[in-house]
Amino acid sequence: MLLPIAYHQKVRDYFKKQKKTWEYFAVAQNKEEQLQQFKSELLKNTYKFDETTDTFVYDKVKTALKKLDMDNLSVTVYQAQYTDELNASIVYLHHEAHIVFSGAITKLLNEEELLAVLAHELTHVKLYNMLDGDLEVADRIITAIANNYASEASYFETARLFRLYTEIFCDRGAYHVSGDIAPIITSLIKTSTGLENVNVANYLKQADEILSKEEFFKTHASSHPENFIRAKAMQIWHLNPENAEKEIEKIMEGLVDLDQLDLFKQDELSKLSKKVMQLLLKPKWFRSTMVLSQAKQFFPAFAIDEDLVLTEELIDTFRNAHLSVKNYFCYVLLDFALVDPSLEEIPFGWTYQFAEDLQLKEAYDEVVKKELKFSDKKLTQHKKKTLSAYYEVKENDAEQIYNG
């Protein structure tokens, strides 16, 4: 059974909470004039396959529509002129789908592969009609925002991942129709390489080899995931569809990278930042006016959570974090260590200890050396001196960040 991918639903839910934006994009508009203009341009620049004579295409369209439960959809297929690029694309306007082949794709692919390609394209329409059409609205919203040059980078990343997961979903639609991953993978490789023969088993081994060499691989593609990722995602889904999402998410998104935060990871990092600051400032001696003012520059309503303690889950988060995230938190610690000179050496000693507790010792040492221009010897001396000052401070049980 085809269900929307969790990421699509997250984007839908995020924007649906923004009622004015959602209502603006959700308003039904008359697309008849746009449709007629589009069809006119297609006829000028393509060959339109005829449903009565070009049955090698339309029989497969009917098969895909039936298995996708989309029998009522009107579909027209075209062959683009003046291009050698091997590709297939679909445009869905005013309840009509128009599929355009480019290059000699109908000659290169066998019947099963051609069916898989048509099913993939038609699944785009299937997706955007799910959840009462909400996903199509969500796609238009995030695309429109991302296309605005003034938008934050997180919107670009969210739009990118939305597009990539759409391709993964459409591959599942092709699998739903064909019942076999082989024609999906071979059609993918054939259209991207022009090869006439492709060995699926060998290509999946190639994908495994790539992924095995990078422990935390993630896709960097902008509109379609790398072919080996799509092939691997298809294999994962084929072998264990009930538990495939987490494994596919790992190779699609990888570790949280400070330079590639989508809207959701940005929110997660913000919540993590707040938690770290609440732990860091749990000792009452550290809550000077200047220090709290620093915290409120991050979070205007910042307040200490007296019940918060350092957990193994939080430690694991930092142990497995991307270097960019580790460095970000190290700079946060350094800022707090230096913000109030009246506290003298104690905050620095506490941040050294805290960084070690968070599995950030090596990263924090490097940041301190770089920013304070310390040699290894100077760092060791500074750490010994400031830790001694911190160890002299008496903290009661309520100020401890450790459980028990």
CA 190 – CA 50 distance, rounded (Å): 25
> For the residues 318-345, what does the mean pLDDT come to?
95
Q: What is the pLDDT of residue 362?
A: 96
> For the residues 129-135, what does the mean pLDDT come to?
93
CA distances from 310 to 256, 263, 307, 365 (A): 21, 26, 10, 21
Asked whether the predicted pLDDT for residue 218 surpasses 80, the reply is no
The helix-helix angle for 111-128 and 134-146 (nearest 10°) equals: 90
Asked whether the predicted pLDDT for residue 401 surpasses 90, the reply is no
Q: What is the pLDDT of residue 396?
A: 72
Backbone φ and ψ for 359, nearest 5 degrees, come out as: 65, 35
CA 24 – CA 40 distance, rounded (Å): 29
| Beta pairing, strands 74-80 & 87-93 | unpaired
Q: What is the pLDDT of residue 32?
A: 59
Tokens of 15: 């924007």
Q: In what order do the strands lie in the sheet with 46-48?
A: 46-48, 74-80, 96-102, 87-93
Asked whether the predicted pLDDT for residue 50 surpasses 70, the reply is yes
Is residue 178 within 8 A of residue 115, CB to CB? The reply is yes
> For the residues 203-224, what does the mean pLDDT come to?
81
Overall pTM > 0.85: yes
Question: Could you give the count of Cα atoms lying within 13 Å of 92 in the half-sphere of its Cβ?
Answer: 14
Is residue 195 within 8 A of residue 153, CB to CB? The reply is no
CA 330 – CA 396 distance, rounded (Å): 26
Is residue 198 within 8 A of residue 189, CB to CB? The reply is yes
Q: What is the mean pLDDT of the chain?
A: 92
CA 138 – CA 18 distance, rounded (Å): 11
> For the residues 40-64, what does the mean pLDDT come to?
94
More confidently predicted of 43 and 73 = 73
> pLDDT by residue (tens digit) across 237-261?
999 988 899 999 988 988 889 989 9
Residue percentage of the chain with pLDDT more than 90: 80
Asked whether the predicted pLDDT for residue 223 surpasses 90, the reply is no
Asked whether the predicted pLDDT for residue 282 surpasses 90, the reply is yes
